[in-house]
Amino acid sequence: MDYKKYGSILRGVSKPARYTGNEQGQTVKDKKDVRCRFAFCFPDTYEIGMSNLGVRILYGALNCEPDVWCERVYAPWVDMQERMREYNIPLMAHESGDAISEFDIVAFTLQYEMCYTNVLMMLDLGGIPELAADRGEDDPIVIGGGPCAYNAEPVADFFDIFSIGEGEEALPELARLYIKMKEDGTYSRQAFLFAAATELEGFYVPSLYRVEYAPDGTISAFEPVDERVPVCVKKRIVEDFDGAYFPVDPVVPYTEVVHDRIMLEVFRGCIRGCRFCQAGMIYRPVRDRSVETLCRQAEEMYKNTGYDEISLTSLAIDDYTCVDRLTDELIEWTNKNKVSLSLPSLRADSFTKELMAKISGVRSSGLTFAPEAGTQRLRDAINKNVREEDILNAVRIAFEAGKTQVKLYFMIGLPTETDEDVLGIPKLASAVIDEYYKTECRNKKRPPQVTISTACFIPKPFTPFQWAEQIDKDEFVRRQRLIADNIHDRRIKYNFHDSEVSFIEAVLARGDRRLGRVLSEMKKMGACFDAWDEHFSYERWQKAFELASVDPDFYTRRERAADEKLPWDVIDIGVTKKFLLREYEAAKQSRPSKNCREGCSGCGASIYGGDTLCRKMKEQ
């Protein structure tokens, strides 16, 4: 935003640096050389969006195309929204300051269901018709992507296309198709959407599918309207992950953001198969980057940004086969330059003294582990292959290194959970406190502090628990109180997630197209930033469900039949439904499965080349 033009407005809002742009590392191109303009929108604040590694990757990958210009757009905070409406200022891109309605393609990354109301707010501020069916030839093509796109149905009415899977190669292909059709005179809005669905892989166009519902509310038919349109849209993955694009010269913000550090993506995918975890399924197969590539990227990013912390990112960093060698080689130069090394996704069962020593320079005073459940029976049921002795061994190592604070993350409301499992959570926290005092070389100057946090279980698409019901929100509250009432030690703190937010999230996670009416009603009532406690209103959501004649319990409070048509069956992630059902049955028997290194469980993830752990072709 031009400070000279809008300075008086910016001075009257909180955190004006959110809107000024002109950051180091941003991409600016000459418009006369650009044939496709891409507005990449993050439906949350600048501080959160600038911390998202996926956005950085796709921004850079698109701008590698010489005739494509990708610019960034973030959700303005409520005070800025008021000023924009008051002065008739449209939502604009950071780099050029142009309104997003002037772009060819407007893309939203959908990282969290509770940001859906922000998408509608941003479309409204940008002057783009809310419904895809109402957009004309001069309106931008609106795209959605990210993890929530794997069940796009609740927001299908608002998007023209969804990018399914990894976008580093897919989105440039889409831009090239757009340019080609514009230049050869074959472009029309409908022709482009049809070509994207039929000529490219990994693009789902909701308008090309017909959905019908049975009298009981379930889906009776979900079919393409043309035989040339694929029945299932196969996700895209990057086959050569080691050689894939990675932003070594990212945009550096002028204001503090959530993750002010170098984020180094070590590998994608997960070998574990936790039955509640969507990411562990949709990002399969596992693909590594080489140590040489990672070290080169880290050094280049350090030189280009000046950050003093490197975070090794993945779903479980200690599952990287070369983690010891990688950390050894990084430490050779990070210690000299006073750059700390952070390993944020450590598993208790593979935490060692050697890893503890390597991350001892991190500025935090504690470590975080995620047992997920309070008893071994339930950890077996959810396939979280971590034992209590693993957890106690990990915290002992941390205490021996001088740490005094430990955070433990759990989930309540998991399928088959009983009160005994719930009570196991404070018992485990007490065992950690006891372990501190058993440790001879602990930090005796400070008392220990254990913080336990519980999230509410949300059954997610493409997990073995996608058929499970969610417990009632009042039952969540009862179980939270059960934990709180059984904590009798001031050295144990307890935080828990709002059950009402989790209920709405579950509705949106497993919803269908009928929820579009609910979201439209929410937008009419001025809803936005529902992911933020101060703006979330359960009463407003209840009113929207009522106005749209939608029963939210239909999506949460019932177990799906194995043969029910699911809204996300139109997407093929490579992991078969047969495998997910088999894992669901194993969960009911509290029977864990092997991880991918211990033996292939036949999930069906295809072999795409590279050094993957998958050794079975997709099941037919």
**Per-position DSSP letters for 230-264, written without gaps between them:** -SSEEPB--S-STTS---SS--B-SS--S--SEEE
Which pLDDT does position 303 carry in this prediction?
A: 94
d(CA 72, CA 115): 17
Query: At 124, is the secondary structure helix, strand, or coil?
Result: helix
197-211, 345-359, 386-400, 602-616 — which one is most confidently predicted on average? 197-211
Q: List the domain boundaries for the chain.
A: 3-234
pLDDT per residue as tens digits for the range 434-471? 999 998 887 778 899 999 999 999 999 999 999 999 99
Query: 360 falls in which pLDDT band (50, 70, 90)?
Result: low
Residue 343 amino acid letter: L
Query: H or E segment at 71?
Result: strand 68-74
Percent above pLDDT 90 for the chain: 82
Residue 362 reports pLDDT greater than 50: no
- Tell me, what's the pLDDT at 598? 87
Residue 562's pLDDT band (cuts 50, 70, 90)? very high
pLDDT for 606 equals: 56
User: Across residues 506-521, what is the average pLDDT?
Assistant: 98
Mean pLDDT of the region 265-272: 93
Q: How far apart are CA 478 and CA 417, in angstroms?
A: 13
- Estimate the share of the chain in helix, then strand, then coil, as percent rounded to the nearest 5: 40, 15, 45
Does residue 511 register a pLDDT over 80?
A: yes
Q: What is the mean pLDDT of residues 289-318?
A: 93
> Virtual CA dihedral for 348, 353, 355, 359, nearest 10 degrees?
110
pLDDT digits (tens, 9 = 90+) for 306-357: 899 999 999 888 889 899 899 999 999 998 898 988 887 778 887 887 777 7
* Separation CA 151–CA 462 (nearest Å): 9
Neighbours of 251 (CB within 10 A): 20
Residue 161: per-residue pLDDT: 98
**CATH for 3-234, among 3.40.50.300, 3.40.50.280, 3.40.50.10540, 3.30.230.70?**
3.40.50.280
Q: What is the pLDDT of residue 164?
A: 98
Rounded mean pLDDT of the chain? 93
Query: How confident is the model over 391-405, as pLDDT tens digits?
Result: 999 999 989 888 899
* pLDDT for position 601: 85
Residue 619 has pLDDT above 50, yes or no: no
The DSSP symbol for 205 reads: -
What is the structure's pLDDT at 76? 97
Local confidence band at 148 (pLDDT 50, 70, 90 cut-offs): very high
